[in-house]
Structure 1
Amino acid sequence: MAKNANWGAAPFIIIESDGTETVVVVTGRDRWALECLIAAGKNGCTPICTPGPRWSAYVHNLRKMGFSIETLNEPHGGPFSGTHARYVLRSAVRRHTAGDAA
């Protein structure tokens, strides 16, 4: 994971199904997780494929900010078989740019 200085405050726009938009400022590891989710698209992210120390906490924080994120439980094998979470961003999101209304 990159140093926190690389993950400063960045505004994102959540676009609701009715077209309304909400600007949310995301920082730190929450921003890192959001950008991973955006990049992953419909495939989503797992702590196995996109390692991060506290995925469940990042997802919890992002949900509190208004992002819709689905949790899918998937089985995995190996000597410690069980299940793991796959997180999929369901909100329509884009980075806020200077040309966007405040």
Structure 2
Amino acid sequence: MKIHVTLSLSERLRTFELKGRLGWAMAQLAQAGARGITPIERPAPRWSAYVHELRRMGIPINTEMVAHGGAYSGHHARYTLACDVSLSVLQERSAA
């Protein structure tokens, strides 16, 4: 996946392209909106790594730790974008 992203950061815009799993993760965060997303709701092998890399690129992402029940109860992260974002898909899949 390859996407074009525009972030609204305070009074400035930042535009760039993301591809692969980072593009996918950004699209999932944007689609989730203010509710956010958890690895339990949208399984992926390395959510924390995707969020870490997106943050390194300057994308503000909040993390809230929330409890969950079940046989393996514990805590998991809920990720939300901390800015307004618009995106468009440039390429749905990478050509192999």
Instruction: Confirm whether residue 77 of structure 1 aligns to residue 69 of structure 2.
Output: yes
Q: CA deviation at 1:95?
A: 2.3
Q: State the shift of 1:33 in Å.
A: 0.7
2:84 to 92, 97, 100: 92
- 1:65 has 2:57 as partner: yes
Q: Deviations over 1:34-74 (max 9, x none)?
A: 10111110111100001111000110111111111100000
Correspondence for 2:33: 41
Structure 1, unaligned runs of 5 or more: 1-6, 97-102
Structure number with bigger Rg: 1
What corresponds to 2:94 in structure 1?
Answer: none
Q: Which amino acid aligns with 2:9?
A: E
Gaps of 5+ in 2: 89-96
Q: State the distance in 2 between where 1:68 and 1:12 align.
A: 13
Query: Is the CA contact (8 Å cut-off) linking 2:27 and 2:87 kept in structure 1?
Result: no
Question: Is residue 25 of structure 1 aligned with residue 50 of structure 2?
Answer: no
Runs of 4+ off more than 2 Å = none
Whole-Å separation in 2 of the counterparts to 1:37 and 1:26: 13
1:14, 1:94 within 8 Å by CA — same for their partners in 2? yes
1:12 aligns with 2:5: yes
Aligned pairs, number: 88
The CA RMSD over aligned residues, in Å, is 1.2
User: Matched residues, percent identical?
Assistant: 43
Higher RCO (CA 8 Å, separation ≥ 6 residues): 2
